[in-house]
Amino acid sequence: MPSSSARAHRANVALGALLVLGVFALGLLWAKWTPYLSKALTAQRTHHWSGSSILAVGGVRAGDGPSWRAATTFFHAYVLSIWPALVVALLISASVQALLPRSWLPRLLNRRRLITSGLAGGVASLPSMMCTCCAAPVAVTLRRGGVTRAAAMAYWLGNPLLNPAVLVFLFFVAPWQWTLTRAVIGVVTVIGVAVGVGLVADGRVAAPPQPDAIAPPDDESRGTTRRFVRALTCLCLILLPEYAILVLAVGAFRGWLLTLTAPSHQSLLIVLLVAIVGTLIVIPTAAEIPILQSLALLGVSSGTLGALLITLPAISVPGAAMVVRSFGWKAIATATVVVIAAGVLGAAVLSALP
């Protein structure tokens, strides 16, 4: 028969898991699932995307120099778009750190092989449907909880690249070639990044998770709120200031970046340059759709569109800065190189499709 302390421990763990599940489900229902369902139904009915390119907000055009107005107008539009998801991500991350046993996340996501770790992280990312900046607090929490870099990186990049809502949006408002390219190259990118990062930083085999120690019930119940507040405060103080500064910087320089993303001709060097630029720019979820539509109207090549279809949502300077302490520069550099290569591959696939 289990002791009373063991039964109390299991009851506390079960309650904590239910609370985390509640924060996860209710938060995403408010920030993601309900709004995206409404957008999907509208897109199905109209076959038109109502949003405009966030890179042009404030009247910024290709070739415009850096300015404070460009920085602040972009920052305002970006934060207005992503703040609900960022709030939910911070609450989920703090709840997981405060309420779940440390061995649960490794048991769920760590696998013996890098490909299966990448698949596990990618599948886990499907419900949250965030941009990489909003997914960053959760990715940091995964790493703190003992999840391998391969699985955590797959979760981080799977959020934007495998986002089922964005695939639905693309299907309704864009050429079918865009949807197919994003789906296929998105899966290849997430698994490729997981394998590359795992080989460089994690090794080939993930260590099995260690069992949790049974703590006295009084110690478990005492201080849960304090742990939650401490985790939330640390996430906010560490991640948000540098994030805000870098978003302002991207906004200030976007006129120059727009110049580099709009070449009318296509070559391997141009596609490579566009893929690199795509990894610098930060955008909200699904913001690549109006950006690519506006570029297509300007006559931009399919290679450029295919590269940006992958690299724009996948990695950005602010997003990388948020997770680099947890993943390490080597892992971030490896992921960036793989994403750039995937952008070139996306360009080739979209150009080859009829």
Residue among 49, 3, 83, 341 nearest 195 (CA): 341
pTM reported for the whole predicted model: 0.92
How far is the C-alpha of 6 from the C-alpha of 215, rounded, in Å?
8
**Cα distances (angstroms) measured from residue 299 to each of 20, 292, 302:** 47, 11, 9
CA distance 17 to 101: 9
Q: Which of 3, 341, 41, 13 lies closest to 185, judged by CA?
A: 341
**Residue 315: what pLDDT?**
94
d(CA 172, CA 155): 26
Q: Is 54 left (phi over 0), alpha (psi -120 to 50) or beta?
A: alpha
How many angstroms separate the CA atoms of 238 and 325, rounded?
Answer: 10
CA distance 243 to 53: 21
The identity of residue 18, as a single letter, is L
pLDDT value for 225: 85
Q: Which tokens belong to 304?
A: 């450029």
Q: From first to last of the 354 residues of the chain, give the pLDDT tens digit.
A: 456 777 776 888 889 899 999 999 999 999 999 999 999 999 999 999 988 899 999 999 988 999 999 999 999 999 999 999 999 999 999 999 999 998 999 999 999 999 999 999 999 999 999 999 999 999 999 999 999 999 999 999 999 999 999 999 999 999 999 999 999 999 999 999 999 999 998 764 444 444 443 333 444 445 788 899 999 999 999 999 999 999 999 999 999 998 887 776 778 899 999 999 999 999 999 999 999 999 999 889 999 999 999 999 999 999 999 999 999 999 999 999 999 999 999 999 999 998
* H/E stretch holding 199: none
3-state class of 69 per DSSP? helix
Q: Three-class SS string for 236-285? A: HHHHHHHHHHHHHHHHHCHHHHHHHCCCCCCCHHHHHHHHHHHCCCCCCC
Nearest to 88 by CA among 33, 153, 150: 33
Residue with tokens 């955590």: 152
Residue type, 193: V
pLDDT, residue 147, reads 96
pLDDT score, position 203: 60
Phi, psi for 304 (deg, rounded to 5): -60, -45
Instruction: Answer yes or no: are the C-beta atoms of 194 and 116 closer than 8 Å.
Output: no
Instruction: Give the domain ranges of the chain.
Output: 12-33+52-211+222-352
